[in-house]
Structure 1
């Protein structure tokens, strides 16, 4: 097999395993993305020009799973080139620096993208002290270790050795991991979306939240609606939100602070991405916490509100009032956080409509 074919196969294997580990992390609800394995594998085995092809191709392929990878493409080119250089220039005992500097570059790059997109560079120091930063560091270290194992399997004698048996085993294993993981992600993440009905006068969305919750180090999806009049001042639908976060793993559904942080970071991200240069959100009221049965789940209902900004210029301060319903789905290992709110001026007029929408869902 000539070098051109060998290098092409390495790129395909790098893409396959990158997709497989990204899906596996979501299937097992492991914090982090694990989307660097293929990058580090290509950097280990390929000349720079060929490796750069992989650095670009991998995030482009991943955009079919999560569109954020399109704006994050530069991160993978950057860390791929850094890793490629360090693998060849930093040897001996100081080679351990690769396991330190590359993860730091990876984590800082993601937080830089987040800060730029949300206009929150002034909080960058805070992000460095949050769980998400350390999750990204661990993610990159784990990806490097897995890439080292796979690269030594492909090139045990520092030359690419792709005999048919070894090649078949590597590809089949990658396909099996990716296939099973994709199925599990569909079952425990996306199947519930069919339980959210269309509502006249409302727009409905289902989005992955991994980038939105990046500083929190959490992953999941958001199934949400807002009225067609949400951006119209003076309408009862102004600034109305209604939806359900479907968060990976178990979270204490009674902990108001823990529950509300998902909404706070979501709101601030939304404001920043809609042009507010000083987004803020904080809880100012929690009351009437009670246990209820929601669709067969033992759930908690809590009323309250937040102070935030409008997402319409001039981004004035708004007081939001509404309710949360929280429960844990043990079968799918997911925490559900239902939220519904309107402005303080309109909540009395909207509350029955919001409740009727929430109780018509069937997220099972």
Structure 2
């Protein structure tokens, strides 16, 4: 049982779920690899880097499957020229994406807080933030024109049913016998929200369609990041408990190493895909967030540096991050990505509006 009272928890910042935590700056790589040369090499560097990491730890049979980002097309087929109907359908979906990304991230943080068993004084603000995001998203979603796109209509229906059941979800997750099942419901809601980014119709403009395609990398990026976070938190927490008891840390199992390598492969490919297809403005932002390591799996970020240290050695020996430091680094990264993806969506909205004039 937690013996700290709520005031102590807040004063000492023992719960920082969803907060913005400072991350130590990492020295940028000497070779920044900016511009077109970097974009051309992005996918190759990501794939090779991950294969090398997995090869070092000798995990046999781990298939590094490439991520296939869903390319959204007009329900009638990819247009060869812009049309008013396709542009306006695309606009209606794109205009909901900034609030969609915000809601998805808030749902993730609320789930994390509930699973961590944070006290009500911390949980209530998380839920209030999610509720506000739900209100904003619902208003935007009502304006989406599915235009005969059954997949889009189905996703919107699933999201609405999940939101309608949010009160029960919040109640059930406090029941430890149901917590993992209910946590999966939170995850499904977040995943459905992120899938909307793959359902923006193409409009026949090469530059805008490339930016729309880039959004397709967001969903697998967050999926893999979630898998890595779960594995890393468990490993770091176990080590911390062992150290507190004066015992040697339990080695990471081959199964967990394989899962971590697979998640890292997806993360690298997804981030590289987004980087290659998005606009120069968003590439610059991603460079800043990742300390110029966007095409190297964001290893400039402390949390991802730790992941790659584990994959290169097969152990936690080189990892110095505590569970709290790891969580803080992940939170900082996720908040940065949230701002990036909202900005990318807003850029597409502006471009579509100009195309519709």
Q: TM-score surpassing 0.5?
A: no
The structure with more radius of gyration: 1
Counting helix residues as a fraction of each chain, which structure ranks higher? 2
Counting strand residues as a fraction of each chain, which structure ranks higher? 1
Q: TM-score, normalised to structure 1's length?
A: 0.29
Q: TM-score, normalised to structure 2's length?
A: 0.29
